[in-house]
Every structure is written in C-alpha cells, then in structure tokens.
Amino acid sequence: MSNLPQQSYRIPQVLRDLQLVDVLELTGSTTASAAQIGLSQASVSRRYRALARELGLQRLAAASMGKRYGDTPWLQLLRRGINSHRLAWGVLRLGGSDQDAALWQGQHGVEWVTLGRRQQQHWQPLLQLELLDAVALQELPPDAVTGDLPYRLLRSPHGWLACRLEPVVLRLAERLGFEDTGAQRR
C-alpha cells in the first residue's frame, strides 16, 4: 500500500476531533460515543460543541441517518481525507452490533465501532456517506436477493460483511478472511 510504518494505527491527534463527528453519527449519542473512544460524556459534548462552532456544524436531530451531527461539503471532504489516511495504514472502520464486538474489537486492521440500535437498522447510508468501510451482519440483508447493490457482500464463518466498493476496502476485508460472494453492487 505505502511506506507507512508497520505499527498499530492510531489516528493522529489533529484528526481526532473530526473523527468524533463520525463516532457520534455511528453511535447516535454522546454517552455511547464517550464509551467508544474512552472519554467522558462531558468531554465528548464539549469537544463536539467546540468543533461545531469552528466548522459551522449544526446538530439536526431530524436529519437523515449519517447527517445529524453535521452535513457540510467540507466535512465530507475532511472525512474522505481521514478515511484515506486510515486505509493507507491498512485499517478498516467496521461497525456492527454488540454481539459482533467480541469478534472484531482489538483485532489488528480493524477500527471497530459498536453501532447504535437505529444505525444497525439503517446502515446503508453509513456506507454511502463513508462513515463506515464495512458493516458486520449476522444474516443477509433483504436487498441481497436483487443482486443490484450499492455495496459488496463478503462471507466469513462469522457472518456477512457489507463493504463499500472501494478496491482498497475490499482488499482489506479479504485480508481479514472474508470471501467475495459475487453478490454484485451498482
């Protein structure tokens, strides 16, 4: 991939507050986000408010999934940059339920996010908005039978993985032991 050091990936300090917006979108609350990233709920709230002021973000509870903590063109560009950095280090941001956490949390090459209940039910926009690289699923999604999917389905002994179509994402998922099922995407 690149000439980056072969050590554990750790998001650079300068990008951590930007990552906070993604974690808020993925977990759905400051309390769950705090648990995910190892901060107090008050710290998460304070950091988000400061970032929102600096970037002109607004929390919109009624917004669609993945756009509740800020939806601006520059935030999307910053997110793509952060994702490129993480993927260059060979790390997938993988989300799923509490049940899946034991399989993936702490595994080399995985940045695990336990999704909020609503996010688990409506995960497709999280892939499309590049908040996640992949979602761990226990069973095939209902739209899998159509074969015209905006993501790729991969299989492992643990279940299914719905991945963004980006080639580096698919290579990293296969490196984790998932096999391409041929369930095609758009």
Give pLDDT tens digits for 124-157: 999 999 999 999 998 888 777 666 778 999 998 7
Tell whether 4 is covered by a domain.
no
When pLDDT is averaged across residues 78-87 and rounded to a whole number, the result is 91
**Residue 162 confidence (pLDDT) above 70:** yes
Q: Report d(CA 144, CA 42) in Å as an integer.
A: 41
Model pLDDT, residue 12:
67
The alpha carbon of 10 is separated from its chain's Cα centroid by a whole number of angstroms, namely 15
CATH of the domain at 57: 3.40.190
In a domain, 84, yes or no: yes
- Note down the domain range covering 149: 13-180
Tokens at 64, concatenated: 């669609």
Q: What is the dihedral of CA 6, 8, 11, 12, to 10 degrees?
A: -60
Is residue 185 included in any domain, yes or no? no
Residue 186 pLDDT grade (very low, low, confident, very high; cuts 50, 70, 90): very low
Which of 38-47, 61-70, 140-149 is most confident? 38-47
Question: Tell me: the pLDDT tens digits for 7-32?
Answer: 677 766 667 788 899 999 999 999 99
170 lies in some domain: yes
43/30 Cα distance (integer angstroms): 9
Number of domains in the chain: 1
